[in-house]
Structure 1
Amino acid sequence: MVETSLEEGVQNSNYDRQKELKAFDETNAGVKGLVDSGLAKIPRIFIDEEYKLERNNKNQDPGNSKTSIPIIDLTGVSEDSSLRREVVKKIGEACQKWGFFQIINHGIGVTTLDEMVDGTRKFHEQDSEVKKEIYSRDYTKFVNYNSNFNLYKAEVINWRDTLSCVMAPRQPHPEDLPPVCRDIMLEYSNRVMKLGETLCELMSEALGLKSSYLKDIGCAEGLFVLGHYFPVCPEPLLTLGTSSHTDSSFFTVLLQDQLGGLQVHHENQWVDVTPIHGALVINLGDMLQASFPLYLNLLI
């Protein structure tokens, strides 16, 4: 019944967007629920008109695969001072010129990363009745599952569902985490927290500060884990899994699956980020990115 009302809204000249948003939200089943219902056309709330215009513009570059964000190897960064200086220099340049870089040999095993991707997929692909138990827009909770955190305010709704968990500074009780991915979320989060401390040290040094500076002012205390899921879309040319945006956080550690799809904006063009198995993408948030235009001056 909900699917019918959504599709009828597309044809109705008196289209009520808020009503359609509410009808979708009250299914408590997210985008995956729409896909499981067998719909052939996506609801109007998901159609991205700007994206459609960009795709129809023949001069629009779909993504530059010849350019790539920097890839930085962290091997030996804690043991070899000369290697560390070289890594600090590369991170500083990547932060100043790109705001993005990939890291390899970062201390988190490939098995852990693969299990985290798999655990996220298992959560989203389990029976909808199980997921509905934690479907919520109450962000005072440590654990939430929903579709589009800004569903009722965003101009464009993305084709994705998200499991979100506040993992630090105070970790949720294990029983509050979904059983299907509980263990790997705890393991992955603990390892990312350690990696975050290392990255804060390296970025502090890149800014010409003592290595503990960013950690001392609290930049390594919090961790918010988002497990996005992008179901197969029946009309992929009309919508996006994630629209263009910036992150307000200090920095983000991105774990991609091997399908790719991530692009970054660099020098007025979109650049494809080719996934590397075992690598992590580091995205400077708005708060940190403001610091790095001064990078070269700080080192002179």
Structure 2
Amino acid sequence: MAAKIDATSGSYDRMKEVKEFDDSKMGVKGLSDSGITVIPQIFVHDPQTLSDLKPSSKNTTTTIPTIDLSHINSAAHRPKIVDQVKSASKTFGFFQVTNHGVPVSVLDETITAVKALHELPQEDRAKYYKRNEGKGVMYASNADLYRTSAASWRDSLQVWMSPERAKAEEAPEACREELFAWDLHATKVADDVFELLSEGLGLEGKRFKELTFSENRFLVGHCYPYCPQPDRTIGITAHTDVTAVTVLLRNHVPGLQVRHENEWLDVKTVPGGLIINVGDLLQIISNGEYKSVQHRALANSWKEVRISVVMFFYHTKWREDNYYGPLPELLSPEKPPIYRDFTKHEILENYYSKGLDSKSFIDKVTIKN
């Protein structure tokens, strides 16, 4: 797919190429499978984004914490687990959990099913390709393709699970059964983590459940195929999640990086582990106690596809005045709110007005002194 030049102005017509790529319904998987050696111009990122695509060598032994949940219901062990979750959420914003109750066979089946969808013949994948963000089922390359200045090297399946659940028949048959089953497993893990996070703030364990943090959720199955020029693009740009919490399942192909102490860390794979990260909403609700941090995925230089299955958890319950903000019980004269109240409309407007970015919503609601 060659770059297009506007004959009148002599300038590169990016939007024309974006539309041609989208209309082809081939996705980056199709581009990769075609054997191209030069990526299309729409995927080339600016020098600033490309300047630090490798982690700092001094941090090769540092990674996000791993927390064992096997004794989560033990009165003797739970306080320690709560402290570990609290510490990880304050310092890294990310942690991995093991012994979370989901059988390894289910993890493997979920990854295999999502991979099977993305590796269908192009003509079969194209049957599902469509753009309808925010509802039902969407299979496309780059949800923000038309909003961002440079596309990223990934294709994604998005399935809304709650409060308006996608119809099962809308989901691709190759992974339909596994994804709806994964919704139940991931939600159970998220509910356990929400209890630990709530207790870490000195609240009752069920407080976040009362706030319906697991009742507004959707699943995304990302595919990062082989990229012939991984130094010119990225798998997903540096961003923070606007969620309360995100639960991530991935295969063994590396690429995820987390920003910590002004350096990018590679997130190492832990067998049977699930990755949890704090989102912008939880940072605001906790009045800054928990931190939402930048993360990104490098373009895949492996011949094998990288697969990640992401569950995003928001909340459905808003105050009667339709506003939300830091929890009142966490505030005091010594700890005044550092974020203003906001509406759901503000969140959606901020998200859909541009491509993925970092903490732009938190910046908008931070109270300036």
Asked if these proteins are the same fold (TM beyond 0.5), I'd say yes
1:61-118 deviation digits (Å, cap 9, x = unpaired) = 268221111110000212x112111101111111111111110000111111111111
1:212 aligns with 2:206: yes
Q: Which residue of 1 aligns with 2:32?
A: 35
1:53 aligns with 2:51: yes
Determine if contact 2:65/2:88 at 8 Å carries over to the other structure: yes
Structure 1: runs of 5 or more not aligned: none
Q: Distance in 2 between matches of 1:148 and 1:102?
A: 26
Q: Which residue of 2 aligns with 1:235?
A: 229
Matched residue pairs, number?
Answer: 288
Q: Which residue of 2 aligns with 1:70?
A: 65
Aligned with 1:82 (options 67, 76, 80): 76
Identity of aligned residues (%): 38
Q: Which residue of 2 aligns with 1:107?
A: 101
Determine if contact 2:4/2:17 at 8 Å carries over to the other structure: no
Using the size of structure 2 for normalisation, the TM-score is 0.74
Deviation at 1:13, TM superposition (A): 4.7
Pick which of 168-177 and 276-285 moved more. 168-177
Q: Distance in 2 between matches of 1:277 and 1:169?
A: 32
Deviation at 1:8, TM superposition (A): 5.0
Using the size of structure 1 for normalisation, the TM-score is 0.90
Q: Distance in 1 between matches of 2:78 and 2:205?
A: 12
RMSD of equivalent CA atoms: 2.2
Deviation at 1:264, TM superposition (A): 0.6
Residues 63 and 164 of structure 1: CA distance in aligned 2, closer, same or farther (over 3 Å): farther
**Pairs within 5 Å for 1:167-182:** 167-182=161-176
Give 3-state SS (helix, strand or coil) of 1:165's partner: strand
Equivalent position amino acid for 2:59 in 1: N
Determine if contact 1:96/1:292 at 8 Å carries over to the other structure: no
1:250 aligns with 2:244: yes
1:273 aligns with 2:270: no
Residues 103 and 9 of structure 1: CA distance in aligned 2, closer, same or farther (over 3 Å): farther
Aligned with 2:145 (options 134, 144, 151): 151
1:225 aligns with 2:219: yes
Q: Distance in 2 between matches of 1:15 and 1:294?
A: 46
Give 3-state SS (helix, strand or coil) of 2:158's partner: strand
Deviation at 1:272, TM superposition (A): 1.2
1:160 aligns with 2:158: no
Q: Which residue of 2 aligns with 1:264?
A: 258
Structure 2: runs of 5 or more not aligned: 291-329, 331-369
Q: Distance in 2 between matches of 1:106 and 1:17?
A: 45
Determine if contact 2:4/2:16 at 8 Å carries over to the other structure: no
Structure number with greater CO (CA < 8 Å, separation at least 6) is 1
Q: Distance in 2 between matches of 1:108 and 1:157?
A: 34
Which has a greater percent of helix?
Answer: 1
Equivalent position amino acid for 1:43 in 2: P
Q: Distance in 2 between matches of 1:191 and 1:185?
A: 10
Deviation at 1:41, TM superposition (A): 0.7
Q: Distance in 1 between matches of 2:267 and 2:81?
A: 20
Residues 18 and 52 of structure 1: CA distance in aligned 2, closer, same or farther (over 3 Å): same
Q: Distance in 1 between matches of 2:153 and 2:5?
A: 18
Deviation at 1:9, TM superposition (A): 4.7
Determine if contact 2:44/2:232 at 8 Å carries over to the other structure: yes
Determine if contact 1:116/1:185 at 8 Å carries over to the other structure: yes
Q: Distance in 2 between matches of 1:52 and 1:95?
A: 28
Q: Which residue of 1 aligns with 2:118?
A: 124
1:109-161 deviation digits (Å, cap 9, x = unpaired) = 11111111111111011022222222111125411100111111112210000
Deviation at 1:235, TM superposition (A): 1.1
Give 3-state SS (helix, strand or coil) of 2:67's partner: strand
Give 3-state SS (helix, strand or coil) of 2:153's partner: coil
Residues 209 and 75 of structure 1: CA distance in aligned 2, closer, same or farther (over 3 Å): same
Deviation at 1:17, TM superposition (A): 0.8
Q: Distance in 1 between matches of 2:225 and 2:173?
A: 21
